[in-house]
Chains A and B, each alone.
Chain A
Amino acid sequence: MEIIFFYLVALIVVISGILVVRCQSPVNSALALVNTFFCLAIYYVMLRAPFMAAVQIMVYAGAIMVLILFVIMLLNLGTEAKKRYTQGIVWSSLASLLLLVNVVYFLKRGQVTDSVGDITAYTVQSFGHTELIGKALFTEFLLPFEIASILLLVAIVGAVVLAKKDV
C-alpha cells in the first residue's frame, strides 16, 4: 500500500522536476518547483517527520517560492527564445552519468541499518516529533541555532541597506 503510494509520488516528483528545467515560461517552471517541494513534504510525512513536512511547505513552498514568483512577475520575463546548446550536451551528459554511477554505487555499497541513538520510531510516535526537534535545537544545538539567526539578521539588515538610497 505504502510502496504504491511512494512510487506514485515519486513519478510526480520526477515529472515536475523535469518540467522545472524544460518549461518555456519561467512562471511555469516556478510552479513545477512548488509542486516538487510539496511532494518532498509528502515524503517527510511518510518518514514520520510531520514537523519537517509542515516547515518544508511553509518555508519553501509557501514563502521562498512566492518571493521568487513575485520577482519573476515584476521583471516580466517573457518566454525565452529557443536556443540550441550543442557544445554543452556531451559534457553535461557525461557529468550526470558519472553522478548517477556514483550514487548507485554508494547506495548499493551501503547497508540499511536500524536507527542509531535514543531516538527510534517508537519515541517519535509517543513523544512527538516537534518536541524532539525543539528540545534538540534549544539544548544540544543552541549555539549553531543562535549563529544561524544572527546570520539571517545580518542578511536582512544588508538587504535593507542595499535597497534604501539614503540610510
Chain B
Amino acid sequence: MTPEMLSLSNSPGIFIGIMLVKLIVVFAVVMLSVAYATWCERKVIGHMQTRLGPMRTGWHGLLQPFADGIKLFFKEDFIPAQASKVPYLLAPMMILVPALITVAVIPFGPDITLFGFQIPQQISDLNIGVLYILAFAGLGIYGIVLAGWASNSKYALLGGVRATAQMISYELAAGLTIIAVFMLSETLSLRGIVALQQQDLWGVCSFVPNWYVFTQPLAFCLFVVTGLAEINRTPFDMPEAESELVSGFCTEYSSMKYALFFMAEYANMIVIAAITATLFLGGWSAPLNIAIFTMIPGFVWLLLKVYSLMFFFMWLRATFPRVRYDQLMQLGWKVMLPLALANVVITGLVVVILQ
C-alpha cells in the first residue's frame, strides 16, 4: 500500500513543519549559490583572461563574497534628491522576489516516505508549473523598468527602456519554445515533466533516459539563448552596458539596494539554469539508467546540471562581445520567433503522425 500524500488537511502539524524545513533549505542553498556564483564568475573569467581573479580574502579568495557583502552593507544608502521615492525603494525588491519565488516549483528529487506520509521533494507541485514560471518571469521586468525610471537619470532611463523592449520581445520566443515541450509531455506540472523524462529514450534505448534535449534540440538551444536575453546576461546585457550607459538601470543605486540588484542577477541565472535542467535535461534524474548513477540522490544531479549550465553562461560571457541593440531586436523578432513557431508546428505534425 502506498502511503498517503502529505497535505494540509490530513496532518497540518507535520505539513507545516516539513514545509518550513523545505523552504529554509531551498532558500539557503539558493542564497549560498548566489554568493558563490559571484566568486565563481570572477574566478572563471579571470582564468579565461589569464588573470587570477580574487586571491586575497581567504584561500584563493574564497571569503570574497562575505567581504563584498560586508562592504556593501556598510556603504552609505543614498537616494538621489530628484528620484521618485516609492518606486525607487520598491524596484530592488520587485526584481529579486520574482526570481526567488520561481524556485518553489522546481522538483529536486523523488517522493520520500516520512512519518507514514508520502512527501514530494519540491516546495509546491502546481499543476500549472510552467505557466507559473512564465508569469513570474513577466513580473520580473517591473524591477528594472522602475529602477530605470525612478532614478531620474538619463542613463538609468535608457537602461530601463532597453530592458523592457528586450524582455517583452524575448519572452514571446521563450514561451513558444516551452510550448513545444509540453506538447510532448501533455502536462504543465514540472514533477510530471521530470517523471516523463525518466522513461527509456523513444521507448527503445533502455539505459539512456528520454530527456527532451534529444527530442527537442532546437527548442533547447532557443530556450538557452532567450533565457540569457531575458535575464540580461552577456552577450545580451544591453540594459547595463557599462561602456555606454555607466551601469544602466542601477546607476543611481548604492549600498544594499545595489546588492539586491546584484543578487537578483545571479538568482535569475540560477533559476534559468534550473528551469532549463528541469525542462530539457531530466531535472533531478540521473543521466544514465545505471545502478551506480541512480543511487546518487536527485538533488546532487540537479545541482550538478544547474552549476554546469551556469559555468556555460560564464563561459559565454568571457567569449562573446555585447551585441548591438538593433542586432538584438533583429535576432529576437526575425530569427528566434519564426524558429520557435516552426518548432511548434513541426512538433505538432510529428506528434499527430506518430499517434
Residues of A within 8 A of B (CB): 25, 27-28, 31, 34, 38, 50-51, 53-55, 57-58, 61-63, 66-67, 69-70, 73-74, 128-130
Contacts and interface: CB of A to CB of B under 8 A. Distances in A.
A27 B135 contact: no
Interface of B: 84, 86-87, 90, 126-128, 131-132, 134-139, 141-142, 145-146, 148-150, 157, 160-161, 164-165, 168, 171, 188
Given A31-B86, A73-B148, 4 more contacts: A27-B84, A58-B134, A58-B138, A73-B145
B291 to A, nearest CB: 35
A57 B138 CA distance: 8
Contact of B164 (A51, A66, A129): A66
B145 A54 contact: no
A54 B139 CA distance: 11
A58 B131 CA distance: 8
Contacts, number: 77
A57 B135 contact: yes
A66 B168 contact: yes
Nearest to B137: A62
B8 to A, nearest CB: 9
Contact of B142 (A51, A66, A129, A130): A66
B145 A57 contact: no
Contacts of B141: 62, 66
A31 B87 contact: yes
Contacts of A28: 84, 86-87
Contacts of B150: 27
A31 B171 CA distance: 21
A129 B146 CA distance: 34
Contacts of B171: 62-63
Contact of A55 (B84, B131, B139, B145): B131
A31 B164 contact: no
Contacts of A58: 131, 134-135, 138
B138 A34 contact: no
B322 to A, nearest CB: 22
A66 B132 contact: no
Interface of chain A, helix or strand or loop or mixed?
helix
A38 B138 CA distance: 12
A57 B130 CA distance: 13
Given A51-B128, A63-B168, A69 B145 contact: yes
A61 B137 CA distance: 11
Contact of B87 (A27, A63, A129): A27
8 contacts: A31-B142, A50-B128, A54-B131, A57-B135, A58-B131, A62-B141, A66-B138, A73-B149
Given A51-B128, A54-B128, A128-B127, A70 B135 contact: no
Contacts of B131: 51, 54-55, 58, 130
Nearest to B186: A131
Contacts of A38: 139
Nearest to B136: A57
B95 to A, nearest CB: 13
B139 A61 contact: yes
A31 B141 CA distance: 12
Nearest to A79: B84
A12 to B, nearest CB: 15
Contact of A73 (B132, B138, B157): B157
A74 B168 contact: no
A39 to B, nearest CB: 13
A131 to B, nearest CB: 9
B138 A62 contact: yes
Contact of A50 (B126, B146, B149, B161): B126
B127 A63 contact: no
Top 4 closest pairs, chain A to chain B, by CB: A62-B138, A54-B131, A57-B135, A58-B135
Contacts of B146: 27, 31
Contact of B145 (A25, A53, A66, A128): A66
A130 B126 CA distance: 12
